[in-house]
Amino acid sequence: MKRMRFLLCVVAVISLAGCSTRNITISRSLGTEADIFPDYKDIVIPCNIAPMNFNVLSEGDHQLIIEGADSQLQVAAEDGLFDIPIKEWRRLLRENMGQKLRFTVARAEGGEWLAHEPFTMEISPDSIDSHMAYRLLPPAEQWLTISIQQRNLETFEQKVIYENKLSENNCINCHTFPARNPNKMMFHLRAKNYNGTAYVNNGKVTKLNTKTPETISSLVYPYWHPSERYIVVSTNIIYQSYYYHSEDRMEVYDEKSDVVVYDVEKGELFTNELLSSPTAMETLPTFSPDGKKLYYCTAENVENIGLNIEKLKYSLCSVDFDAEKGEIGTKVDTLFNAPLDGRSISFPRISPDGKQMVIVLMRYGNWSINHKDADLYTLDLTTGEIKPIDILNTDEVESYHSWSSNSRWMVFSSRRDDRLYTRPYFTYVSEDGTYHKPFLLPQRNPLTHYRDILHAYNIPELISGEVKVKAHDIATAMREEGTTLTFRK
């Protein structure tokens, strides 16, 4: 019994020691900036974001002091990681909303604590949607292990929406939600026994067979109409080739493509000659937030495209869309003229408040994720003026982007860290349209997470809550015959 008591005491002492936090006092300043990963210095963060843990990259014993207006929190580094307790972090966010938190990294030296130059994080009262859905896939468009995951941006929790081990390790195409609604989604599976499009509506999964005799392929790149009745989608015949020697390594390109609209209620596809021209390729469609305009990228057919890839340049066009009648307009507006400009456009995305369109521009093609020169630009829908968003762009790829419900946040893909593995970066967009320094998706241990992960984050989509559908239900539904769509003549 005595021995038992002794052991309990030892356990209690060890536990208390483990829970203890040391508070330090700074002796003097080092006058240098701390070398940290990710670069979270002087950024704007949402008021509901998960702890912005980071790693200090220099050797030694380090301490982090986070100071708000009325309180402070100190965190000791473990193997260089500042793992900020989530409860304390939330308290700091709550107490300092609209203000700046001051971060000071201190290093122990000769029994003293020496401080690096402090940096700040401004807490925006504009929250970000609570979740983000994305594909995790090996780079270079390969797919032995692909999954669609969802990350709670307020914590570090990541959950599977669907993974391809449930369906013959097939390719999973892009996923899409209507206006960030997590209760509805659509994505396509390419698999021998599971081939088809998964349509999820409040937990119910329906398999759609979307290849019709009138369309060139199944549905590929989708975008929902705000009414949730229509989904505009491209159909594409896609190829992939590697360069002899190029900074872009490889290219993915269409040999043919059209745009069609899927009427969810009637289960039919329709298009018109503007969206499925035999002399041009139309792809990457999107609706305006009011649903009255349909935007799409289009390029003239290129003969012998494998030998003339640089001639493949996409313009941005729009047509009217009448959701009441389910009709596509017949007059084309060209917002970006590739032959005149000399560059090529992809992924037009308009903010929910309708004020900003952000696009990706590159020298040619539309598979921007493989173009080192791909950068994000704003396109003024009234004047057609195009401006680079310099604060977001680097020498590496910047590509796919998605807006938050309140139009104040945008997530985009970037390969700035290691040139192959795409990662999601977030930026705050002020009311006046100013973009702020982007920050990398927080992780519990960012250094080891991003160093070790062998998957890229692909198609990051902000969503307003958790997707509840069970992965097994999707796989089960996809094994069934499914519903074959019809084509409106």
Q: Does the protein bind other proteins through residue 456 (CB under 8 A)?
A: no
Q: If you compute the radius of gyration of the chain from its CA atoms, what whole number of angstroms results? A: 25
- C-alpha 356/C-alpha 189 separation (Å) is 32
Q: Does the protein bind other proteins through residue 237 (CB under 8 A)?
A: no
Q: Are 429 and 378 in contact (CB under 8 A)?
A: no
Which range of residues in 180-188, 292-300, 303-311, 385-393 is near other proteins by CB under 8 A? 303-311
Q: Does the protein bind other proteins through residue 35 (CB under 8 A)?
A: no
Q: Are 454 and 144 in contact (CB under 8 A)?
A: no
Task: Rule CB under 8 A: choose which of 121, 166, 280, 381 binds other proteins.
Answer: 166
Q: Does the protein bind other proteins through residue 94 (CB under 8 A)?
A: no
**What secondary structure does DSSP assign to 402-459, as a single string?**
EE-TTSSEEEEEE-TTTSSS-EEEEEEB-TTS-B---EEPP-SSHHHHHHH--SEEEE
- Residue 285: asked if its preceding bond is cis (omega within 30°), the reply is no
Task: Rule CB under 8 A: choose which of 30, 237, 238, 309 binds other proteins.
Answer: 309
Which range of residues in 19-27, 48-56, 99-107, 446-454 is near other proteins by CB under 8 A? 446-454
Q: Does the protein bind other proteins through residue 244 (CB under 8 A)?
A: yes
Closest distance between other proteins and the C-beta of residue 251, in Å? 7
- C-alpha 445/C-alpha 38 separation (Å) is 10
Kindly state the number of chain residues that form the binding site for other proteins, as judged by CB under 8 A: 41
User: C-alpha angle with apex 179: 277 to 129, nearest 5 degrees?
Assistant: 140
Q: Does the protein bind other proteins through residue 158 (CB under 8 A)?
A: no
Of 319-348, binders to other proteins (CB under 8 A) are none
- String of contacts with other proteins for each residue 348-367, x by CB under 8 A: ----------------x---
- C-alpha 88/C-alpha 417 separation (Å) is 30
Nearest 10 degrees: Cα torsion 470, 472, 474, 478: -170
- C-alpha 2/C-alpha 106 separation (Å) is 44
Instruction: Tell me which residue of 378, 375, 428 sits closest to 400, measured CA to CA.
Output: 375
Q: Does the protein bind other proteins through residue 303 (CB under 8 A)?
A: no
Task: Rule CB under 8 A: choose which of 251, 282, 398, 461 binds other proteins.
Answer: 251
- C-alpha 332/C-alpha 320 separation (Å) is 8
> 376: which strand partners?
360
* Residues ≥6 apart with Cβ < 8 Å to 260: 215, 219, 232, 233, 234, 235, 269, 270, 271, 275, 276
- String of contacts with other proteins for each residue 169-188, x by CB under 8 A: x-------------------
Q: Are 206 and 181 in contact (CB under 8 A)?
A: no
End-to-end CA distance of the chain: 86
Task: Rule CB under 8 A: choose which of 110, 452, 481, 489 binds other proteins.
Answer: 452
Closest distance between other proteins and the C-beta of residue 306, in Å? 5
Q: Does the protein bind other proteins through residue 139 (CB under 8 A)?
A: yes
Nearer to other proteins, 100 or 363 (CB): 363
Which range of residues in 2-10, 98-106, 203-211, 236-244 is near other proteins by CB under 8 A? 236-244
Which DSSP symbol is given to 78? B
Closest distance between other proteins and the C-beta of residue 81, in Å? 12
Q: Does the protein bind other proteins through residue 471 (CB under 8 A)?
A: yes
Q: Does the protein bind other proteins through residue 145 (CB under 8 A)?
A: yes
Task: Rule CB under 8 A: choose which of 85, 306, 354, 384 binds other proteins.
Answer: 306
- String of contacts with other proteins for each residue 195-234, x by CB under 8 A: ----------------------------------------
Q: Does the protein bind other proteins through residue 154 (CB under 8 A)?
A: no
Q: Are 68 and 96 in contact (CB under 8 A)?
A: yes
Question: How buried is residue 473: exposed, middle or buried, by Cβ count under 10 Å (0-12/13-18/19+)?
Answer: middle
Q: Does the protein bind other proteins through residue 140 (CB under 8 A)?
A: yes
- C-alpha 411/C-alpha 392 separation (Å) is 11
- C-alpha 364/C-alpha 342 separation (Å) is 8
Q: Does the protein bind other proteins through residue 418 (CB under 8 A)?
A: yes
CB-hemisphere CA count at 13 Å for 44? 19
Nearer to other proteins, 139 or 291 (CB): 139
Which range of residues in 40-48, 61-69, 135-143, 348-356 is near other proteins by CB under 8 A? 135-143
Q: Does the protein bind other proteins through residue 102 (CB under 8 A)?
A: no
Q: Does the protein bind other proteins through residue 252 (CB under 8 A)?
A: no
Q: Does the protein bind other proteins through residue 138 (CB under 8 A)?
A: yes
Token digits for 466?
């958790």
Which range of residues in 19-27, 181-189, 353-361, 444-452 is near other proteins by CB under 8 A? 444-452
Question: In the complex, which residues of this chain contact other proteins (CB under 8 A)?
Answer: 138-140, 142-145, 160, 162-163, 165-166, 168-169, 241-247, 249-251, 306-307, 309-310, 364, 418-421, 448, 451-452, 454, 470-472, 475
